[in-house]
Structure formats: C-alpha cells, structure tokens
Amino acid sequence: MTTPATTDYFGLTIPLMHLMGVIPESIGPGHARTRLPWREDLTNSRGDIHGGTLMSVLDFTLSAAARGGDPELGMATIDMTTSFMSPGNSDLVIEARCLRLGTSIAFCEGEILNAEGQIVAKASATFKVIKRRPGSD
C-alpha cells in the first residue's frame, strides 16, 4: 500500500485530510474554513458521509481555527462533542471559530453546512496548546 501525496493544510502535512479530500479554504486569527466534496467512498450504508469522517474534518478545522495560521502553535484534542442534525449527502463546508485561546487551552466551536446552507453537524472542542520548538517537527 502506498501513502498518498500530501498537500498543505494551513502549514501542516496531514495525510488523513488529503486521503479524505479536504480542501483548506481560509484561515485567520480565530477562524478557519474547509470544504469536503461528497465522495461515495466516504459514505455509510445509506449513502451519507460517514459520521466518523465528519468528526475528523471538524476536529481538524476547529484545531486550525485555534492555531489561526500561527506556525508556532500545535493543538492536541482534549475533548470534542458533536451533534449530528441532518445527513451529509452533498458537498460540505466546515466553518470553525476559536472562542478563547489561552496559553495552554483553546476552546472552539464550528459546524458543517450542506450545499443548501443547512447545518449537518455542530461541534465544540477543547484543545491543549502545544508550543512548537525551533527545529522540531
């Protein structure tokens, strides 16, 4: 099995996001936006994007909002609560905001919207802030 080529995910290389086809759209202080095109290989038995995929994309996009594009910051998920509100059966947009970024903890929230702008899922997460050291990966 070969590892797929990776792309730039707001300054990071994340093979899983590449495998899922996540498209990074925008990032700035306290916010991030990504897109997930619908693909059959991401679906469950009903043809909707699998909940595990939705949670993974939310986790990445919320943590990106906490980083806000700062290459000195890393995030480790402490917890995440997700509510699924409707099926993800179209291309999706993921929007995330950092509500508070402290020296050691970040609090974020976000949602996934379908092609009609309806909420598919909503999440809140807490992250441990990890300062990257020069020369570390």
pLDDT at 122: 98
Task: Give pTM, 2 decimals.
Answer: 0.91
Tracing tokens 């306290």 back to the chain, one arrives at: 30
Q: How far apart are CA 71 and CA 73, in angstroms?
A: 5
How far, in Å, CA of 110 to CA of 124, rounded? 7
- The one-digit pLDDT tens for each residue of the chain (137 residues) are 344 444 789 989 899 999 999 999 999 999 999 999 999 999 999 999 999 999 999 999 999 999 998 878 999 999 999 999 999 999 999 999 999 999 999 999 999 999 999 999 999 999 999 987 665 54
**Distance between CA atoms of 116 and 90, rounded to whole angstroms?**
9
Residue 76 token pair = 């480790």
